[in-house]
Amino acid sequence: MKRIITLQDISCVGSCSITVALPIISAMGVECGILPTAVLSTHTMFKTFTCKDLSDQIDPISDAWEKEGIDFDGIYTGYLASAEQCRQVCGFFDRFKKQGNLIMVDPAMADNGKLYPAFDEKFPAEMAKVCAKADMIVPNITEASLLTGMPYKEEYDRAYIRELQEKLLALGCKTVVITGVSYDPEKLGVSSLDKDGNEFEYFRCRCPKSYHGTGDAYASVILGGLMRGLELGDALKLATDYVVKCIEETMASEDSRWYAVDFQTQIPYLCSELQTYTK
């Protein structure tokens, strides 16, 4: 069994970050270690939330793992609490990068044209340094524009997405996966480009609603899929199909929560789909 480590916050209630990555990646048959970067009462879309930064734990925990000879097949970072923590995470990559393991960065910091409330405008430049060290990054369009300095657009064409991808590759990462891409009002999906020019796109019908936590579920399935040996294109299809199913079921549910997608109820669907790819 492959082992990955994910560095992101624990939002105690809110179904995001570690509380999404841990169940999804485990259900996919991959050991999921965690390095919590902060503990929050909820995610930051709630009006009131607490946040205890755990930056001072990153180095001692890493030291202990190094002494124990623990290593990882994948390193997956999500929401990071501060610019300083971005610098620490770069140091973590330097320590735990090895030949053949995969660093995946979800620069979770913005959506719908806006930075999340906890960040200031200097934060994207620090996150860009984290992305530079990654094998793969999975930004949405808002994050891609903040990382590259390109204008954020709600209406765009393929040339705009291609330029974002090329500028992101120029940061230093090897593969760019942009989520939430749409060239047709009826369709929404994903577009990837790697440094050798390989591209992949996959679209499904656009769901009329969007929910928090879908980016975290998406990234978790991509990483889980890659760890289970899927080609990138198959991992992106699996992640897209799963997230669409989660959104559809959340819309249909009478007791869904405002603050998160119901990713939990569709874990059996995810596992049975995964089997069709790994047979």
Shortest distance, CB of residue 19 to ligand PXL, whole angstroms? Answer: 10
CA distance 75 to 69: 16
Q: Which is nearer to ligand PXL, 5 or 38 (CB)?
A: 38
Sheet bearing 187-194, strands edge to edge: 51-53, 31-42, 3-13, 74-77, 102-105, 136-137, 175-184, 187-194, 199-205
CA distance 59 to 105: 19
Q: Which is nearer to ligand PXL, 26 or 41 (CB)?
A: 41
Shortest distance, CB of residue 15 to ligand PXL, whole angstroms? Answer: 9
Report the run of H or E that residue 228 belongs to, with start and end.
none
Q: Which is nearer to ligand PXL, 34 or 45 (CB)?
A: 45
The alpha carbon torsion through 154, 44, 215, 258 (nearest 10 deg) reads: -90
Chain residues in the site for ligand PXL (CB under 6 A): 9, 11, 16-17, 40, 43-45, 79, 108, 116, 212-213, 215-216
- Note whether 76 and 221 are within 8 A (CB): no
Shortest distance, CB of residue 79 to ligand PXL, whole angstroms? Answer: 4
Shortest distance, CB of residue 124 to ligand PXL, whole angstroms? Answer: 15
Which amino acid appears at position 248 of this protein? E
Q: Which is nearer to ligand PXL, 25 or 193 (CB)?
A: 25
